[in-house]
A and B are shown apart, each in its own frame.
Chain A
């Protein structure tokens, strides 16, 4: 079995997100890092590989992004992936979700994975949809927001996070599964793994190498364009409950949560 994990280089969580007015795109010039949700997808792949219930020959990290996205791949292989693929092409700049999903699917067609894993959302775009787009192009079943994966008779039995509780779904491979951060606790990369990351194979591909139709990607190939941007309204000051009598305080907090149907 071969698992491909889709990963993305995103602005670091500590960096305040801002739209660059000149490009109408997210400003990605600051500190960047591997999308935290993707670390859970890599860990899920590693747990399948190490779990032994199904033989996993290879875990491949795949990304589409600019030159510096190679950092995301280095981190992905330090977390356990065996090798990585970097799709990088000026013609891809400005791709929307549908174009990005198409381009990634073209790379995955070359790899022929039995399972595609990815984080349920990127920490920058937060679209939650790449998995479904990729699955559609590959004609594979798609599951989203998965928080548990078990191997059962060669199929995967998954739990999907739902609004109340979770759904249990059995899926045949090959499949595309996006995972939630509740699925596992990603490991820390060991120092040897960090130092060995650059020694693991990395294939750099351009659009032509992957057989990508240039008309279907980039700003011109994207049908979604962003119009106006407004900053979110400033948050009002919260409600402060002074803790004078703890029983009363607890009642007030419970009432507050109850009013908002949060419990």
Chain B
């Protein structure tokens, strides 16, 4: 065995135990440091109160725009054109702050902006993307319906032609940013297949009431969208797609960001538990010195590090253009499950303090319940992987 096979002089960072940072380029490190510092300064101090009030952080859209984090992985139209890994790192750091903050970024960039960027006309791109990248216009993405969640093909929202115009009817549910969006990307059945429509806020017949009573993602707006004979001009339709491939490709972009984001939420919970357990004394010693607590912390360290490595691997595949949707399913399944376990375990380490908003763990744990379900439920991703490894579909 080589004497240089192991290095004992390199210090261990408990939060980056496997030195995943060493796998990042200087540029990627600077992205990480920048977004982490931003979250430390502009999210963490305010998020507990926002969560309790059930309101998003109002300063976020413009500031995230200034940092070029909105639609950051898209090329042109005011977007930064960053790599998939850089985008993922930003998602990880934002979600270490709060899943609602990352959700805002995902919905704006990966769902609403991506739909326009990938399927919109040149006029639509010029009209909306620069404003959305700057955070001056907020977008939302309407696919899920009260009776069509995992099976979007069951959607009832439909549009029919009336001369050159379209008439849109139906409703959407669980729509992030819906009530604050200036532009809604809405998917509807038509005689030509599933089409995407750009519906500006204030269009007669279109309403976006806020959904109340959430115990998760409270610092993020969730809305219902209703369309009652909404008349839209011919140029409201996204010309580039007329099938479910449109919305599903957007979702795949967003899910990729969640793989990273969940690793960030997990890290934040682990960090809180580690810090608390070292400072909290019982029986005259830090609770971190007790075997049961150490087991929890060790398992958290494993979960956070494997999740981050997995996310980075998927990011590298995506940058090489060889990432498959099934890969993303493995990432979302694994990392959200792992993050939920870390959050719950961290909550137990913090004892009664763990249930308060003074610490981030219960907030993350509650948020992750939504993340577990949205953008493809854990069950659907399980069956996508099952289908991929067996060749047999268990869901359709």
A interface residues with partner B (beta carbon < 8 Å): 14-16, 29-31, 33, 71, 74-75, 78, 188-192, 194-195, 197-198
Contact = CB atoms under 8 A, between A and B. Distances in A.
Contacts of A192: 68, 80
B37 interface: yes
A194 B31 CA distance: 7
A190 B30 contact: no
B359 interface: no
B191 interface: no
Given A188-B67, A194-B27, 19 more contacts: A14-B13, A29-B9, A29-B10, A30-B10, A30-B11, A74-B26, A188-B34, A188-B37, A188-B38, A189-B30, A190-B66, A191-B31, A191-B69, A191-B82, A191-B86, A191-B90, A192-B80, A194-B34, A197-B27
B11 A15 contact: yes
Given A192-B80, A195-B82, A74 B30 contact: yes
Interface string B1-18: 000000001110100000
B233 interface: no
21 contacts: A14-B13, A15-B11, A29-B10, A30-B10, A74-B27, A188-B37, A188-B67, A189-B34, A190-B66, A190-B67, A191-B31, A191-B34, A191-B68, A191-B82, A191-B86, A191-B90, A194-B27, A195-B82, A195-B86, A197-B27, A197-B30
A78 B30 contact: yes
B304 interface: no
B221 interface: no
Contacts of A190: 66-68, 80
Contacts of B68: 190-192
B54 interface: no
Nearest to A71: B26
A31 B86 CA distance: 20
Interface of B: 9-11, 13, 21, 26-27, 30-31, 33-34, 37-38, 66-69, 72, 80-82, 86, 90
Nearest to B38: A188
Contacts of B86: 191, 195
Given A16-B11, A30-B11, A191-B82, A75 B30 contact: yes
A177 to B, nearest CB: 26
Contacts of A197: 27, 30
Contacts of B34: 188-189, 191, 194
A15 B33 CA distance: 15
Contacts of B33: 33
Most B Cβ at <10 Å: residue of A29, A71, A192 = A192
Nearest to A20: B9
B63 to A, nearest CB: 9
A190 B82 CA distance: 12
A124 B141 CA distance: 49
A197 B80 CA distance: 13
Contacts of A71: 26
A191 B26 contact: no
Contact of B81 (A16, A29, A195): A195
A135 B220 CA distance: 53
B27 A198 contact: yes
A100 to B, nearest CB: 24
A195 B80 contact: yes
Nearest to B19: A31
Nearest to B68: A191
A167 B10 CA distance: 45
A189 B82 CA distance: 14
A192 B27 CA distance: 11
B319 to A, nearest CB: 14
A28 B13 CA distance: 16
Contacts of A31: 21
A191 B38 contact: no
Shortest 4 CB-CB contacts between residues of A and residues of B: A191-B68, A191-B80, A190-B68, A192-B68
B23 to A, nearest CB: 14
A71 B30 CA distance: 9
A191 B67 contact: yes
A33 B37 CA distance: 14
A194 B35 CA distance: 12
Nearest to B73: A191
